[in-house]
Structure 1
Amino acid sequence: MRPKLDGILETAVYVDDMEAAHAFYSDILGLKRMVAGERLFAYDAGPAQALLVFHRGHTGDDVPTSGGIVPGHDTSGHSHFAFRVSADQLQPWRDYLGEQGIAIISEVTWPAGGTSLYFNDPDGNVLELAAAPLWPNFLA
């Protein structure tokens, strides 16, 4: 029998400019940085959730730790991830992003009734603010 998954613990984005990324994720989005290193910043993205911001091109080698080896990984190009928000926060986010000079590049109303706002971080990664429902397992 297949063991149960409990959800996604972390998601990652790769950036070229770590300080610009920190200014964006901390100052603009309000995420608290939990770890700061040369190759990785980790942010509190909600209860039991972490956003990992990796320095592109600096994470391909394995990293030995006292607890074992962390396998190398890296990517190129722009990535995507979504933050969950409540529907009543969509307009405040539209207003806030506009005040910060961050363009909403797309807005989608999904067949299930939810709405997504899309915008870019300083490296061009596509971020999404998603209000339920989008997916069959997406609860309000």
Structure 2
Amino acid sequence: MRPKIDGILETAVYVDDMDAAHAFYSEILGLKRMVAGDRLYAYDAGPAQALLVFHRGHTGADVATAGGVVPGHDTTGHSHFAFRVSAGQLEPWRRFLAGAGVEVISEVVWPAGGTSLYFNDPDGNVLELATAPLWPNFLS
């Protein structure tokens, strides 16, 4: 029997400018930074969820820790991830992003009824604010 997966604990994005990324993720999106290092910032993205912001080009080598080796990883190009928000928060987010100078590049109303707002971080990564129902397992 296959063991159960409880959900996604963390997701990652790779950036070139860690200071600009921190300003965006902390000041614009309001995420609290939990870890700050030369190659990684980790943000509280909700209960038992973390957003890892890696310094592109600085994470390819393995990293030895007291607890074991963290395998190297890196990427090129833009990535994507979505934050879950309630439907009642879409309009406040539209206004807030506009006031912060962050352009909503696309808005999608999904067949199941959810809505997504898409915008970019300073490195061009595509971020999404999504409401339920978007996926069959995404209920409000």
Please indicate the TM-score interval, normalised by the length of the shorter structure.
Answer: over 0.9
Task: Give the letter aligned to residue 84 of structure 1.
Answer: R
Which amino acid is the alignment partner of residue 54 of structure 1? Answer: F
Deviation at residue 109 of structure 1 after TM alignment: 0.1
> Between Structure 1 and Structure 2, how many residues are aligned?
140
Q: How do residues 35-74 of structure 1 correspond to structure 2 at under 5 angstroms?
A: 35-74=35-74
- Residue type of the partner of 1:100? A
Residue 22 (structure 1) shift: 0.1
Residue 115 of structure 1, CA deviation: 0.1
Aligned-partner residue type, residue 93 of structure 1: W
Gap regions ≥5 residues in structure 1: none
> What is the aligned-residue RMSD (CA, Å)?
0.3
How far apart are 1:121 and its partner, in Å?
0.1
Aligned match of 1:121: 121
Which deviations, in whole Å up to 9, do the C-alpha atoms of 1:27-82 show, x marking residues without a partner? 11000000000000000000000000000000000000000000000000000000
Residue matched to 2:32: 32
Alpha-carbon distance between aligned partners in 2 of 1:122 and 1:76, rounded to the nearest angstrom: 15
Tell me the amino acid that sits aligned with residue 94 of structure 1. Answer: R
When normalised by structure 1's length, the TM-score is 1.00
Q: Which amino acid aligns with 1:77?
A: G
Work out the CA distance in 2 between the residues paired with 1:37 and 1:31.
16
SS at match of 1:38: coil
* 1:113 to partner: Cα distance: 0.3
- Runs (4 or more) in structure 1 with deviation over 2 Å come to none
Q: State the partner residue of 1:6.
A: 6
Counterpart of 2:53 in structure 1: which amino acid?
A: V
- In structure 2, the residue matched to 1:98 is 98
Q: TM-score, normalised by structure 2?
A: 1.00
CA offsets, 1:1-32, max 9 Å, x none? 10000000000000000000000000110000
In structure 2, the gaps of 5 or more residues are: none
Deviations 1:109-137 (A, max 9, x none): 00000000000000000000000000000
Task: Quote the Cα distance in structure 2 between the aligned partners of 1:116 and 1:55.
Answer: 27
Read off the aligned partner of 1:38 and give its amino acid letter: D
Identity within the alignment, %: 84
| TM-superposed deviation, 1:84 | 0.2
